[in-house]
Amino acid sequence: GESVGLHLPTLSVQEGDNSIINCAYSNSASDYFIWYKQESGKGPQFIIDIRSNMDKRQGQRVTVLLNKTVKHLSLQIAATQPGDSAVYFCAEITCSSGNTPLVFGKGTRLSVIA
Amino acid sequence: EPEVTQTPSHQVTQMGQEVILRCVPISNHLYFYWYRQILGQKVEFLVSFYNNEISEKSEIFDDQFSVERPDGSNFTLKIRSTKLEDSAMYFCASSRTTTGLNTEAFFGQGTRLTVV
């Protein structure tokens, strides 16, 4: 079936370095993607989103890249800080199908080493 | 800053018992959702609710589950006869309009349900 998944379950990064978290999706009809951050004991928190007609979008210290050719999404975090330690989920929606629910990937745990 | 609140934070129940998980969505939001996350796994969609009716539900949301908006502020998830495999974190979310382009879903802190 169609799914959203992640390449790596864990990622350890030195404080100050850049982090790259990857996500693969298989539904070619997906037209909207979101990255969520989930800290321990908390619900998912929106980080950044991107439409399928874009290939890059930048926020504060975060950049999302979308490669529709290979159905790949990535989240780049610049100058990673200890507060960035969390599980990161990509999620997709097919807006053309109406009010579709978020489909989450399994998550990547980011650990920042001080 | 407005937030989605959920109670209780942790619910322990015996297998076969009924549980009600409660959520207070953000006040001007119109769309409400329940998701669950089994320990170590991804967040899974259960149900979406709009205009006092279910708009979409997943295969997980079987006859044992029901949702209700009993008043203008609460949104509840009921599990009639809990099973061990219902143990998970349950997240409530709400959005101002349909989730999609430029419409963020806000999540609550979650209720941890433990079925013993």
Residue to mutate among B43, B55, B58, B109, with most A CBs inside 10 A, is: B43
Q: A44 vs B91: CB contact, 8 Å cut-off?
A: yes
Residue A61 in this model has a pLDDT that exceeds 80: yes
Residues A98, B35: C-beta atoms closer than 8 Å: no
Strand partners, B111: B90
Among the partner residues B43, B55, B102, nearest to A99 by beta-carbon distance: B55
pLDDT band at A9; cut points 50, 70, 90: confident
> Between chains, do B43 and A49 touch, taking CB under 8 Å as contact?
no
pLDDT at A1 over 50: no
pLDDT band at A100 (very low <50, low <70, confident <90, very high): low
Instruction: Report whether pLDDT(A18) > 90.
Output: yes
Domain boundaries in chain A?
A: 4-113
Q: How confident is the model at residue A5 (pLDDT cuts 50, 70, 90)?
A: low
Structure tokens belonging to residue A69: 């050719």
Whether residue A2 is predicted with pLDDT greater than 50 in this model: the reply is no
- DSSP letter string over chain A? ---EE-S-SEEEEETTS-EEEEEEE--TT--EEEEEEE-TTS--EEEEEEETT-SEEE-SSEEEEEETTTTEEEEEESS--GGG-EEEEEEEE-GGGSSPPPEE---EEEEEE-
CATH number of B5-97: 2.60.40.10
Which of the four pLDDT bands, split at 50, 70 and 90, describes residue A98?
low
Residue A106: closest CA among chain B residues belongs to which residue?
B42
**pLDDT exceeds cutoff 50 at A81:** yes
Q: What is the pLDDT of residues B33-70, one digit of tens each?
A: 999 999 878 899 999 999 999 999 999 999 999 999 98
Task: Please give the pLDDT value at position A111.
Answer: 95
- Mean pLDDT over B79-89 rounds to 96
- Residue B98 pLDDT more than 90? no
Tell me the sheet residues that pair with B20.
B78
Query: What homologous superfamily is domain A4-113 in, according to CATH?
Result: Immunoglobulins (2.60.40.10)
Distance in angstroms (rounded) separating the CA atoms of residues A109 and B35: 20
Among chain A residues, CA nearest to B43: A104
Cross-chain residue pair B91–A51, CB shorter than 8 Å: no
